[in-house]
Structures are given as structure tokens and as C-alpha cells.
Amino acid sequence: MTAYLEQMFSKRLDAMQSMVERLPGVAPPIQKSDTDSYADTPFTDEITLIEMPRKFSFPSIKMYDGTGDLDDHIAQYRHRMLPVALPKEWREATLCKGFG
């Protein structure tokens, strides 16, 4: 009986997901990376493959809570990262990794 209910709910959930995906204006679901991949990350290889310095620590900044101005939050983050001494080729990757 339990297996039957699980199968029934699974089919209904799949059907509802399919209907939601067809709604106009709905973004497609985010695809998970292959479970056998070396990293489950949203970053490109150019960012992922940059190794962070061992003693590097990100400046403290409150996590964005969704209520304030996102552009202001990003500007504050970039401003706090400016004085951090990093090689030029690591800067963008470090900004992304610290913010993500």
C-alpha cells in the first residue's frame, strides 16, 4: 500500500511540476550538476579553479536579507573588498566566491 501511495504521489508531483514549467514567465528549474562531478558549484571553471590564498579571510558583511537595496549591498561589498591585496587575475573570482 505504501509503495502504491508513493508512486501515485510521485506521478502527481511530476505532473504538477510539468504544468508549472509550462506557465509563461516561469524560469526553468536550475539543473543540478552531475553527482559524479568534482564540484557542485554555480561558478564557471575560470572562477572555480582559482585557489584562494590559505590565510585569506573575507571582510565581514551582513548577508543580504532581501529587504534592502541589492545594488547598495553589492556596492558596500565591493567597497570593503577594494583594500584587500590580491593579484589582479584573482580579484573577480575572489569577489564572486566571497559573495556567493
pLDDT tens readout for residues 74-100: 888 888 877 777 777 777 887 777 775
Q: 47 lies in a domain?
A: yes
User: What is the pTM assigned to this prediction?
Assistant: 0.46
Domain count, the chain: 1
The verdict on residue 90 lying in a domain is: yes
Q: Is residue 95 part of a domain?
A: yes
Residue 24 domain flag: no
Range of the domain at 94: 42-100
- Whether residue 59 is contained in a domain is answered as yes
CB 59 within 8 A of CB 80: yes
Rg (CA), the chain: 20
pLDDT digits (tens, 9 = 90+) for 13-59: 889 888 887 888 777 666 665 555 555 666 777 777 777 777 777 77
Q: What is the pLDDT of residue 83?
A: 76
Position 16 in a domain: no
Span 47-75, pLDDT tens digits:
777 777 777 777 778 888 888 898 998 88
Residue 39 one-letter amino acid: A
73 in a structural domain: yes
Does 18 reside within a domain? no
Rounded Cα distance, 27 and 74, in Å: 24
What phi and psi values does residue 93 have, to the nearest 5 degrees? -65, -40
Q: Would you say 98 and 81 are in contact if contact means Cβ atoms under 8 Å apart?
A: yes
Residue type, 45: D
At 80, list the grid cell: 570593503
Cell 590564498 sits at which residue? Answer: 53
Helices (H), the chain: 2-21, 45-48, 70-81, 88-99
